[in-house]
């Protein structure tokens, strides 16, 4: 689907540039954008390497396991379809821990693993159960203690204080997470009542 969206945007840009006689401007914008994109990636690389290294140290020192152990009782309550000691909830804990510590690259494969483990014991077959939906909500609205990617983008754009956004990121992500979890729980209960009544 995303490919079609990009194709539409590129096609619309070419058509508009042709109709308004600005093909030269379009060509220069394309080359300028590509140049800025490469420079942005190079400028972000150093900051991303720094935080990835710090997060890897946190993982090897056992910090991620400690956070995962702390999260386990909470997760077993909001994801009642799985036991606290199950592989599914262990994988979910690892994913959430990686997101909290800003390990975006590690969080993605952990999230896929968690969903696969959850699907193994899914009684609804191909349909996601309430715990799987809750996991998607938590994963999407994850709280990050150190939003390394956003800070790196700000630094690359010339910000003198790229980490000034930290409290705002924490507040907005906590609000999004709270609302998302509450909505998922309400929808799950309403769905359960409909099944019992129907």
* 95-153 pLDDT tens trace: 887 777 766 666 777 788 888 888 887 777 788 888 888 888 888 887 777 777 777 77
Are 118 and 132 in contact by the 8 Å Cβ rule? The answer is: yes
* 33-69 pLDDT tens trace: 888 778 777 766 776 677 667 767 776 787 767 776 7
Distance, in Å, from the CA atom of 71 to the CA atom of 66, rounded to the nearest integer, reads 9
* Short-list 163, 168, 160, CA closest to 151: 163
Specify the pTM: 0.64
pLDDT score of 22 more than 70: yes
Structure tokens at 51: 């935080």
> 12 or 155: whose pLDDT is higher?
12
- Orientation of helix 104-120 relative to helix 23-60, angle to 10°: 70
> 32 or 72: whose pLDDT is higher?
32
**Mean pLDDT, residues 163-173:** 87
- Supply the pLDDT for residue 47: 65
């Amino acid at each position: 689907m995303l490919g079609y969206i990009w194709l539409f945007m590129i096609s619309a840009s070419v058509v508009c540039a042709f109709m308004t006689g600005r093909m030269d401007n379009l060509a220069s914008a394309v080359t300028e954008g590509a140049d800025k994109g490469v420079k942005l990636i190079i400028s972000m690389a150093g900051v991303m390497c720094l935080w990835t290294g710090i997060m890897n140290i946190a993982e090897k020192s056992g910090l991620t396991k400690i956070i995962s152990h702390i999260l386990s009782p909470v997760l077993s309550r909001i994801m009642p379809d799985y036991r606290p000691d199950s592989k599914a909830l262990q994988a979910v804990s690892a994913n959430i821990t990686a997101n909290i510590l800003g390990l975006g690259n590690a969080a993605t494969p952990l999230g896929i693993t968690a969903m696969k483990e959850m699907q193994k014991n899914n009684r609804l077959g191909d349909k996601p159960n309430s715990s799987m939906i809750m996991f998607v909500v938590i994963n999407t609205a994850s709280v990050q203690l150190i939003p390394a990617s956003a800070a790196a983008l700000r630094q690359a754009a010339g910000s003198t204080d790229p980490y000034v956004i930290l409290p705002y990121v924490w507040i907005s992500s906590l609000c999004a997470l709270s609302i998302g979890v509450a909505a998922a729980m309400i929808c799950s209960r309403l769905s359960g009542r409909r099944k019992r009544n129907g």
